[in-house]
Chains A and B, each alone.
Chain A
Amino acid sequence: DQQVKQNSPSLSVQEGRISILNCDYTNSMFDYFLWYKKYPAEGPTFLISISSIKDKNEDGRFTVFLNKSAKHLSLHIVPSQPGDSAVYFCAGGGSGGGADGLTFGKGTHLIIQP
């Protein structure tokens, strides 16, 4: 049972345009969500997070939107830059008074075209 799903294995976007990466989840117990970016042969790099009590969080070019009723979140990158080409993972976590392991989606490979 995949609790976090990223249905697009890859996404191609032109440089300067907006990149929108989507993520769906089934576990309503997640307290927070995170987005990570991963280059080959490196560990994931934390990008941005959102608490389940919010519907939007913004950090520079990155904005995460959360729609709890639809169990859907999205990451917007604007404007997209060549260095944004990487695999993006969305993850859900539950605080529950302690740290539960993150549950990751399988990732979306974002390709920024010049």
Chain B
Amino acid sequence: KAGVTQTPRYLIKTRGQQVTLSCSPISGHRSVSWYQQTPGQGLQFLFEYFSETQRNKGNFPGRFSGRQFSNSRSEMNVSTLELGDSALYLCASSYQGLAGGRYYNEQFFGPGTRLTVL
């Protein structure tokens, strides 16, 4: 199976602009989660989508939003970019269901999108 893919891999934007990042999960996975990684804060959870619905949300301002499409692909949008939004944005997919008597909840990560805000 192909892994999680994220596009673009690198982005440079200026303050005040908005950006959209894309994530294609592993085939068959229904859950997509987004994380922000910065040197100071480490990996922090943004939100999770399952069957096109946001199920859970981390502690980030409303400038960070997302959506999931019927094919489980997900997008994340950040509006009014700030310098502090510079980070590696990671998407992770998960099956989130029972199979063969076991519940699969491991998250598999994509390579990330490196966003630099100038």
Contacts and interface: CB of A to CB of B under 8 A. Distances in A.
A34 B106 contact: yes
Contacts of B48: 99-101
A51 B28 CA distance: 23
B1 to A, nearest CB: 14
Given A99-B56, A102-B33, A46 B108 contact: yes
A89 B109 CA distance: 13
Nearest to B103: A95
A104 B105 contact: no
B64 interface: no
Interface stretch (B14-22, B39-47, B68-76, B78-86): B39-47
B64 to A, nearest CB: 13
Given A98-B55, A98-B56, A101-B58, A49 B43 contact: no
B4 to A, nearest CB: 7
Interface of A: 32, 34, 36, 41-46, 49, 89, 91, 93, 95, 98-107
A-B residue pairs, 6 tightest by C-beta: A101-B45, A43-B109, A104-B43, A106-B42, A44-B109, A43-B111
